[in-house]
Structure 1
Amino acid sequence: MSDETTTGAAPRLSVRLARRLGGLSDRAIAWLFVGPTVFLLLAINIFPLIWTIRLSLTNYRANRANADVKWVGLRNYERILTDPDIWNSMQATAHFLIWTLALQVLIGFGLAYLINKKFKGDNFWTTVIVLPMMLSPAVVGNFWTFLYQPQIGLFNYGVAFLTGADPSSFTMIGDVDLAPWAIVIVDTWMWTPFVMLICLAGLRSIPDSIYEAAECDRASKWRQFWTITVPMALPFLMLAVLFRGIENFKMFDLVVQLTGGGPGSVTELTSITLKREAFEKWRTGYASAYAVILFVVVFGLASIYVKALNKVKER
């Protein structure tokens, strides 16, 4: 085929396409472009959810694909809600969520407030603070496991120096009471920079004219902080809490790297229990019911929280 024929066919094809699209409404053209994306989202998100709900009503086991599948109804949900081990993992997850969010919000907002003052070298210190969140959870888990070692762990020697205890007899990972706090410390160290960046964006979005007007009214720095800084940065702070809350609710890899999250452990979070039921005990139907319950809990709490966030934004 000659070049002239090829170059002539392209304009004719574009003219035909333009004529066809010209006969469609704006709504039809919009669905023509959005339709494939909507179909892909339904295939990736909605279908697995419906399939999981279906499996949760059966006794299906993934390692026995050829076995007869029995319909058990809501029996899996009843067993989950009456299982004390499930409630213990829920309690461990709640403990982890509350303390990590509290520490990350306080430290992250404090760091953002200090860096927002724009002192000499603030860009350098911002880069240094952000470094932990750039690392993978596997690297962070191995790094802090080394720091927590009873014999050579630098963290143990630091605590021993402050308390006067023997560093070889002190361990956080192996101690039942201290193991949850070991995870809280590591997660706070890793993800406080994320909260700091969001809070810093909120602080720098506050116009300087508001502070100038407050100074003209002879408002103290303390009053400016509580009446201007906190209210205007609150939506950004709540957004950071939402992101970190959802991520920490499904925390898995960091906990496994640090403690292993063994059965009945105080560090066995809901995600670890779900993995054990699905891929170690192979109770797929039971694990599917557990996944549905976790989804409803997270979706419900997130929906309530987003409504509260929208009300704060409207003020």
Structure 2
Amino acid sequence: MQDSSTIEAQAPVTQKRSRSLINKLMNMSDRSMAWLFIGPTVVILLLINIFPLLWTIYLSFTNYRANQPTRDIEWVGLRNYERLLNSEDIWGYLQVTAHFVCWTMILQTIIGFGLALLLNRNFKGSSFFSTVILIPMMLSPAVVGVFWTYLFQPQTGIMTYIINFFGNFGPVDFIGNVDLAPWGIVLVDTWMWSPYVMLICLAGLKSIPPSLYEAAEVDRASTFRKFWSITLPMVLPFLLLAVLFRFIENFKMFDLVNELTSGGPGSITELASINLKREAFEKWRTGYSSAFAIILFVTVFGAGNIFVKVLNRVKNR
């Protein structure tokens, strides 16, 4: 135990060190202070993201199976990639994914932009309708999948009643029908995420200076001319940003489609992400599925770079 005299002697030293540390912090530049706070977070995030990526790249060159001992790992080189790129089934899954991504992007862009134009008019109750329209995107994709599964029931689902309102088509099975199932998942994803595109486009519309429209009114420009020369160019960067986000999310879509169809009937709605899950966690072909994951990552990364370059060109006009 230290006596009181020793503690009293150490107190001024401790206080001096504390004051020195405070003075150093007070004299730090804003940039240094910012790195002091965000530096540890950046390091942790890099470790969390980079290590799994490097580990996945390594496993993609092996025959590793997660349900077998690690001592059985063998280096197979590019064999996994060759099997993937020469597999007709894999190209079929990518084609299904491309169909889903293209149609959802087209429909969500048109519907979202149209809703944004309507809500930008600031009519009575526009704030209320904006909030109501945003509700689908606030729900969990798994919840939306279960919800629409009941709506798609051929005997009791509301979709059958809606379609039969326009004619006697009988029970309509959006999930079990080979022709309708791909459009069923497109419909649900469009219903859920069109509000997201609307929100970004609405932000772009609100940022347009009213003086531009006032000048166009003085020049007696038509409504179409104002839309084509002012509205569309000004909101186009926001629209492209929304398309970029939706492309990335839809390319790796899993939970919504898994709840709706689980890739069925057959494999007509089996997206690349669903097949990746089957290979990794049902067949335990970890090395093979890691190679598939890297191919999907490179595809999304390359397409994302193209979108970013186009976006930069539009912004710099």
The one-letter amino acid of 1:16's match is: S
Deviations 1:273-308 (A, max 9, x none): 110110000000001101111111101110111011
What does 1:1-315 align with in structure 2 at a 5 Å threshold?
Answer: 11-18=15-22, 32-167=36-171, 170-262=172-264, 264-315=266-317
Specify the SS of the correspondent of 1:163: coil
How many angstroms apart in 2 are the aligned matches of 1:157 and 1:277? 38
Q: Is the contact made by 1:85 and 1:264 (CA closer than 8 Å) also made in structure 2? A: no
Q: Is the contact made by 1:97 and 1:248 (CA closer than 8 Å) also made in structure 2? A: yes
Distance change in 2, residues 1:291/1:284 (3 Å): same
Q: Is the contact made by 2:64 and 2:70 (CA closer than 8 Å) also made in structure 1? A: no
Structure 1 stretches lacking a partner, 5+ long: none
Q: Is the contact made by 2:176 and 2:265 (CA closer than 8 Å) also made in structure 1? A: no
Deviations 1:87-119 (A, max 9, x none): 111000000001001001101100100110111
Distance change in 2, residues 1:29/1:155 (3 Å): closer
How many angstroms apart in 1 are the aligned matches of 2:67 and 2:188? 36
Deviations 1:207-250 (A, max 9, x none): 00000001111110110001100010000000100111111111
How many angstroms apart in 2 are the aligned matches of 1:7 and 1:208? 65
1:69 CA drift (Å): 1.1
How many angstroms apart in 1 are the aligned matches of 2:137 and 2:42? 32
Residue identity over aligned pairs, in percent, reads 65
The one-letter amino acid of 1:95's match is: H
Specify the SS of the correspondent of 1:162: coil
Deviations 1:172-219 (A, max 9, x none): 110001101000000010111111010000001000000000111111
How many angstroms apart in 1 are the aligned matches of 2:103 and 2:26? 58
The one-letter amino acid of 1:213's match is: A
Q: Which moved more, 1:134-143 or 1:294-303?
A: 134-143
How many angstroms apart in 2 are the aligned matches of 1:211 and 1:28? 45
1:36 CA drift (Å): 2.1
How many angstroms apart in 1 are the aligned matches of 2:118 and 2:27? 59
RMSD value over aligned CA atoms?
Answer: 2.5
How many angstroms apart in 2 are the aligned matches of 1:187 and 1:307? 27
How many angstroms apart in 1 are the aligned matches of 2:231 and 2:13? 63
Q: Which moved more, 1:251-260 or 1:64-73?
A: 64-73
How many angstroms apart in 2 are the aligned matches of 1:189 and 1:136? 13
How many angstroms apart in 1 are the aligned matches of 2:223 and 2:207? 18
1:14 CA drift (Å): 2.6
The one-letter amino acid of 1:217's match is: D
How many angstroms apart in 2 are the aligned matches of 1:9 and 1:193? 61
The one-letter amino acid of 1:297's match is: T
Distance change in 2, residues 1:10/1:110 (3 Å): farther
Distance change in 2, residues 1:304/1:152 (3 Å): same
TM-score by length of 2: 0.91
The one-letter amino acid of 1:216's match is: V
The one-letter amino acid of 1:83's match is: S
TM-score by length of 1: 0.92
1:37 CA drift (Å): 2.8
Structure 2 stretches lacking a partner, 5+ long: none
Structure 1: 4+ residue segments shifted above 3 A: 4-13, 18-35
1:25 CA drift (Å): 8.8
